[in-house]
Amino acid sequence: MRPLTEEETKIFFTKLSNYIGKNIALLIDRPDGLYCFRLHKDRVYYVREDIMKVAISIGKKNLISLGICFGKFTKTLKFRLHVTSLPYLAQYAKYKVWLKSNGVMTFLYGNHVLKAHVGKMSEDAPEHKGIVVMSLDDVPLGFGATAKSTPETRKMDPTGIVVYHQSDAGEYLRDEDTLF
C-alpha cells in the first residue's frame, strides 16, 4: 500500500473529475475525519487516514483490501472506475439521469440507456461527460458517459442511446469473482 505517484494522481483525478467535478475536495476534507487515496495491487482505495496508519503494519501479501475500492489502473496506466465507488459518485455527481421503471432492469443487465427509458435528466449535461444513472426512487444504479448533450437528447427518437453503459450494480453478481 502506497500513496499515488504524481502521474497516477493526475490520471485518477482527471477520471474522477469527469463525474464529480470540483467536488473531489469534499471527498478528502470531510467533517468526520481526513480521508486519502492509496494504491494497493493496482487498485485505488479510499480510506480514512487513521485506519490507513494502522494498516501499514500489515504485510503487502496479507492485506487483501483497505477501505473502498474506487477502481484500478490497467497495465497501460489507464484508470477504470469500479461499481464499488458508486455511492460516492452518486452523492457528489454533477450530472444524473433518472430511469423509468421499464429501463431499470435493462440497464442492470449491462445495456445502454435509451431515450425511451429516461424519466428525467440533468439540464446542462454535455456530450461525453460522466453521468450517474439513478432510478426514479433516487437509488443509484450505475454510471456511464452521455452520448449526446441534454438539448440534443430531447430531439432524439425513442430508440436512440442517451447514456453509454460503463458500470452498474448488477456487476456485483456478474463479476463477483474478479471484482476484488
Task: Delimit the domains of the chain by residue range.
Answer: 2-81, 89-174
Cell triple for 142: 450505475
- Judge whether 68 and 180 are in contact, CB under 8 Å: no
SS3 readout for 114-143: EHHHEEEECCCCCCCCEEEEEECCCCEEEE
Strand 96-99, strand 130-135: pairing: parallel
pLDDT at 105 over 90: yes
Which of 145, 10, 127, 15 shows the shortest CA–CA distance to 71? 15
Cα separation of 28 and 48, whole Å? 9
Tens-place pLDDT, residues 130-154: 999 999 999 999 999 999 999 999 9
Give one DSSP letter per residue of 55-102, joined into a string.
HTTS-TTT----SEEEEEE-TTS-EEE-GGGHHHHHHH-S-EEEE-HH
| Residue type (1 letter), 55 | A
User: How does residue 171 score in pLDDT terms, banded at 50, 70 and 90?
Assistant: confident
Which class is domain 2-81? alpha beta
Q: Left (φ > 0), alpha (ψ -120 to 50) or beta: where does 42 sit? A: left
| Residue type (1 letter), 65 | S
Q: For the purposes of burial, counting CB atoms within 10 Å of the CB of 131, is it exposed (0-12), middle (13-18) or buried (19 or more)?
A: buried
Mean pLDDT of 79-102: 93
User: Collapsing DSSP states into helix, strand and coil, what is residue 48?
Assistant: strand
Fold classification of 89-174 is 2.30.130
Tens-place pLDDT, residues 40-89: 888 999 998 888 888 888 887 888 788 899 999 999 999 999 999 999 99
pLDDT at 17 over 90: yes
